[in-house]
Structure 1
Amino acid sequence: MQGLSAIIGPILTEKSSRLQEKKRYAFKVQKDATKVSIKKEIKHLYGVDVAEVKIMVVPKKERLVKRGYALIKRPKHKKAIISLKGDKAFDPNKLKEAKQQ
């Protein structure tokens, strides 16, 4: 995982926006990402200190639509929920200024 970023992107749902009010942020991460690599990547990309990282694997989902004629598949992926040290907050959609230039 040396060349790839551990973080794919932030998860923007109603549930994740409720988590942001509690200073917790949800990110979709690579399948082989670890808690340590996610913590380092958040520090590098956003410039904030991470207190805790929780990782979960979201299982794949298949369902039939249109009276059973079409099958929709959602692949399994890995999700990380991070909480910050102290009473800090940040916008997960905006990277720190040094990374944008």
Structure 2
Amino acid sequence: MSIILKPVITEKATNDSEFNNRYAFYVKPTANKLEVKRAVEELYGVDVLDVKTMIYAPKYKSKYTKTGLQVGKTNKLKKAVVQVADGDVIDLYSNI
């Protein structure tokens, strides 16, 4: 199973990749920075200089229905922002 789940494609992440050589990915919540660095280097063939990670807590939601109160939650997410070396580019939009 891969450590990298999917790239983050937002306006802020796209600007960061164009101007600062930083790319954002959703990763497994159990992955550490060394595993993320190794996975990005193997998958995209780039030199990784720095990895920053952040954990998003699950969000709880509730709604009232005929049968009563229904409570649920989303999954916990971990996002990694990867700084690559100058001259290296990750093409997130190509269909492989």
Structure 2 residue aligned with 1:55: 53
Q: Give distance in 1, aligned partners of 2:93 and 2:87.
A: 19
Q: Give distance in 1, aligned partners of 2:27 and 2:6.
A: 7
Which portions of structure 1, spanning 4 or more consecutive aligned residues, are displaced by more than 6 angstroms?
A: none
TM-score, normalization by structure 2? 0.77
Deviation at 1:90, TM superposition (A): 1.9
Structure 2 residue aligned with 1:26: 24
Tell me the alpha carbon deviations over residues 11-66 of structure 1, each in whole angstroms, 9 at most, x when there is no partner. Answer: 111221121122110000011111111111111110001000001101222356xx
Q: Give distance in 1, aligned partners of 2:59 and 2:2.
A: 25
Gaps of 5+ in 2: 65-69
Letter in structure 1 aligned against 2:13: S
Percent identity, aligned pairs only, is 36
Deviation at 1:74, TM superposition (A): 3.0
Structure 2 residue aligned with 1:10: 7
RMSD: 2.2
Larger Rg: 1 or 2? 2
TM-score, normalization by structure 1? 0.74
Structure 2 residue aligned with 1:89: 89
Given that 1:25 and 1:92 are in contact with CA atoms closer than 8 Å, whether structure 2 keeps it comes out as: no
Partner-residue secondary structure (3-state), 1:44: helix
How many residue pairs get aligned? The number is 90
Q: Give distance in 1, aligned partners of 2:3 and 2:45.
A: 15
Gaps of 5+ in 1: none
Distance 1:39 1:94, change over 3 A: farther
